[in-house]
Structure 1
Amino acid sequence: MEKILIIDDDADVCLLLDRFLKRQSYEVEVASSGKLGMEKLMAFKPDLILSDFKLGDMNGADLLTNVKSKFPNLPVIIITGYSDIKVAIEVLKNGAFDYVTKPLFPDEILDTIKKALKSVSGSVKTEAKEEKVETEKSKKTKKDKPKYIFGKSFASKNLVNQINVVAPTDFSVIIYGESGSGKEAVANEIHLQSKRKNKPFVAMDCGAVSKELAGSELFGHEKGSFTGAINDKVGLFELADGGTLFLDEVGNLPYDIQVSLLRVVQERRIKKIGGNKEKDVDVRIIVASNTKLINAAKEGKFREDLYYRFNEFEIEVPPLRDRENDIMMYAEFMLENVNVDLDKDIKGFSDEVVEVFKSYPWHGNIRELKNVVRRAALLSQAEIIKVATCRMN
């Protein structure tokens, strides 16, 4: 029986995880602090540690350092809040196997634990044992169900073929596509099929960051380098070191930031704002835009030399209206997910809904379809979703 040590100063979290993992036929011990965790580590000798990042007496980075100094091959999974994801990525670089974010979902935790244990043992539990311990909620989902699927239409198959060609390389990639068409999912799939798949995938929406903060987000800053810089900050290039950095809507970056970015792309070295030291970074860059960057370059809105640095390979993500044969596949996949979220068992869509979905233009693409399906599932009181509950934007 595989052994798991839970370290968390929240008694309720410890109790819930203890009960859940024991039902999955794991042997479990819990500790309410980092110190107690280290003591139980030596006595219990677990196969895996599941630890909160914020502990009363130490943080996840300190715990990880202590664990790895004694058991370098022991997998550690960090539990973190959404606001601490950047910190968690930094911990990954220091040896954590993975992280899960709050709120905790049983299927996600179980899937991550299985992958971590498999990475050490090279084997997984037998199907018979998995069936014995499977929870009612997990029966609604496919094992190892992906977060995103690619369709079977000609356009989708062509997209997948392009991903398969470029993913194993270190080429920089420009992804074009309308808003909501799945550009980040394509970038993430490229990362997952690359030799960098075990390193961080870090994304930034360039349109959501102010001109003043764009440089700090990308390159980091030193304490006191500008008003409001009360602490040192690690930039996204450093967080993505060894992995992939995805810059969505890259055309929105201020021109002066584009100059700094060009230098980093050319030299693979970064310098924090207000700092003097340079640091080497090994990062694959994937960018995305809903307009052609070459046109922006001709208009003087985007540096032409930076465009050519990025343009080693181009991928065009087709809009959903050009993938009619994929619409219901996406809708059914989304319904599976929302069934789990809402603890419902909706079987599918009425024939009338199918016709409406296939004829609707979906200007918001996959994101709009997801919103419609989730709202319809929330409002539906029947086993089949009907048109009355499908409110289009």
Structure 2
Amino acid sequence: MNKTILIVEDNYVEASNLQRILAKAGYIVLEIAMSVKEAICIAEKNRPDLVLIDIFLKGPQTGIELAYWLCERNIAFVYLSANSNQEILSQAKKTEPYGFLVKPFREKDVLVTLDIAAYLHEQKQKLAVRKQIVSQELFSPSELLPGIVGKSIKLQHTLDMIRIVAPTDTSVLIVGESGTGKERVVDCIHSLSSRKSKPLVKINCAALPASLIDSELFGHEKGAFTGAYERRIGKFEQASGGTIFLDEIGEMTPDLQIKLLRVLQEKEIDRIGGKTSIKINARVVAATNKNLETEVEKGRFRMDLFYRLNVFPITVPALRERKDDIPLLVRFYLNHFNKELGRNVKSFSEKAMADLMQYNWPGNVRELEHFIQRSVLLAQEETVKSVELPKNQSLDTAHKTADDRIRTMEENDIDHITKALKVAKGKLAGPGGAAELLNLPYSTLVSKIRKLGIKKV
């Protein structure tokens, strides 16, 4: 069945151009709406498979407000935009769109974006079902996720995401700073999947020269180039039936990005020097410590590849964001290194532990692990009474106040709206209402309250 699309665009020329491209490709365009109000009326009568929304529309409501309405009804959407400023784009991203189309539209870009949007929506539907199943199950983190230590709220959220996605074949993008334990997350995803009896193949995209990574990933035939004395089976073939982990994917060259996109789309590879394509069955898990959205904006990472990989992102929190886990990690690594090194260091003193808790840990869990190993080696007694940490990296939280840090835009918005609600005594619309005090359309205020989780006064 052909997919139905609603176009929400108040520029008739742009809308007609889109309609022509979509009709040619076999899509059914329900209608062209010129405003949010008109779009809602059409969508309520004929639920579209996907909506294309111009961010800026004539009238009091913007495309972003329509996006929130669509989110509530689980209708997929893609934004249409010209050169919007960063603030507008940041607001748009909060609605979690399935893509952006930048004006003027190119036919190829439109069709690729719609293909990705349909894929993302389908995957998220499956994952939503999986999430409901997981929420009804009881888990023991220590049994199911070995090697990941901690009970903090942020870490538990990460563990929940692992449990949801692991049994599926969905591509996963793991995001986090260096040393946070992204590779441990990969191990857990693989061990909890139906592919656990098959290989888990790991490759660091930043560690191999650009001249070798093509052959490393896809393999080559004998005689394909100077020095190719025999056939080489690439990592994707080695991972057949299992999982391939592409670490530091943000370092991948543009040429390889194109090839990886084809692997994700077509499920096949070409060996260097090969004459036929080879079907592969490997789940792709990627990781990066870069902000790939920024890399996309700067033209260093392909947008279509980003959306293919970003179906289910998992963020691994920095250690400074989960300091409650430090005592548990210290105990875990003490036990580990005592066994490995034949030592008997039982604990850290209260003062030493307080110093560990205050330190910023820029190298995250990996830095803590190495520090405990060194402490076990150097300890002269069963208790480590003092520690030496780089003073220029310490986070002197004990002497900081809440006013010393820069507040986020969301925090400022919450305070501003809450204050207006108190002044208006909970009244939202009409004379003296919060919307009037804030000089915002009523619908925009309601969207912000819902998005920021503000409790009405």
TM-score between the two structures when normalised by the length of structure 2: 0.52
Counterpart-to-counterpart distance in 2, 1:227 and 1:323: 51
SS for the counterpart of 2:374 is: helix
- For 1:169, give the aligned amino acid: T
In the alignment, which residue of structure 2 is the partner of 1:170?
169
Q: Is the 8 A contact 1:376 1:390 kept in 2?
A: no
| SS, match of residue 206 in structure 2 | helix
Contact 1:177/1:318 (CA < 8 Å) preserved in 2? yes
Say how many residue pairs are matched.
Answer: 251
Q: Which runs of 4+ in 1 moved over 4 A?
A: 143-147, 388-393
In the alignment, what sits opposite 1:322?
A: 321
Is residue 339 from structure 1 mapped to residue 331 from structure 2 by the alignment? no
The one-letter amino acid of 2:156's match is K
Matched residue type, 1:335: L
Q: Provide the C-alpha distance between the structure 1 equivalents of 2:227 and 2:253, rounded to a whole number of angstroms.
A: 20
Q: Distance in 1 between matches of 2:215 and 2:331?
A: 41
Question: After superposition, what is the alpha-carbon deviation per residue over 1:157-179, rounded to whole angstroms, capped at 9, x for unaligned?
Answer: 11111111111111111111001
CA distance in 1, matches of 2:332, 2:199: 26
Query: When the two structures are superposed, what TM-score results if normalisation uses the length of structure 1?
Result: 0.61
Instruction: Specify whether residues 148 and 310 from structure 1 end up closer, same or farther in structure 2 by C-alpha distance, changes over 3 A only.
Output: same
Contact 1:246–1:285 under 8 Å retained in 2 = yes
* Equivalence for 2:278: 279
Give 1:308's aligned residue: 307
Q: Is the 8 A contact 1:173 1:285 kept in 2?
A: yes
Name 1:255's counterpart in structure 2.
254
**CA separation in 1, counterparts of 2:234 and 2:189?**
22
**Contact map agreement 1:379 1:389 (CA 8 A) in 2:** no
What 5-or-longer segments of structure 2 have no aligned partner?
Answer: 1-141, 394-457
Counterpart AA for 1:327: I
CA 1:223–1:347 in 2, change beyond 3 Å: closer, same or farther?
A: same
Q: 2:17 maps to what in 1?
A: none
Stretch deviating more after TM superposition (355-364 or 215-224): 215-224
Separation in structure 2 between the aligned mates of residue 344 and residue 293 of structure 1, nearest angstrom: 43
C-alpha spacing 1:144/1:338, structure 2 compared with 1 (3 Å):
farther
Aligned to 1:211: 210
Report what 1:105 is aligned to. none
Number of the residue aligned with 1:224: 223
Distance 1:146 1:310 in 2: 23
> Match of 1:307, as an amino acid?
F
The answer (yes or no) to whether the contact 2:145–2:188 under 8 Å persists in 1 is: no
Structure-1 residue corresponding to 2:150: 151
Question: Cα distance 1:288–1:144, how it changes in 2: closer, same or farther (>3 A)?
Answer: closer
- How far residue 277 of structure 1 moved from its aligned partner, in angstroms, is 2.9
User: Per-residue displacement from partner, 1:307-326 (whole Å, max 9, x unpaired)?
Assistant: 11111111111100010110
Name the CA distance, whole Å, in 2 between partners of 1:147 and 1:163: 12
Aligned residues of 2:257 and 2:305 also touching (Cα < 8 A)? yes
Alignment RMSD (CA, Å): 2.1
For 1:373, the equivalent position in structure 2 comes to 372
The answer as to whether partners of 1:380 and 1:389 remain within 8 angstroms in 2 is no
* Corresponding residue of 1:160: 159
Structure 1: which 5+ runs fail to align? 1-142
User: 1:341 offset after TM fit, Å?
Assistant: 1.4
Q: Who wins on radius of gyration, i.e. which is larger? A: 2
Contact 1:375–1:390 (Cα < 8 Å) also in 2: no
Query: 2: CA distance between counterparts of 1:301 and 1:144?
Result: 40
Q: Please give the per-residue CA displacement for 1:60-84, whole angstroms capped at 9, x wherever unaligned.
A: xxxxxxxxxxxxxxxxxxxxxxxxx
Structure 2 counterpart of 1:42:
none
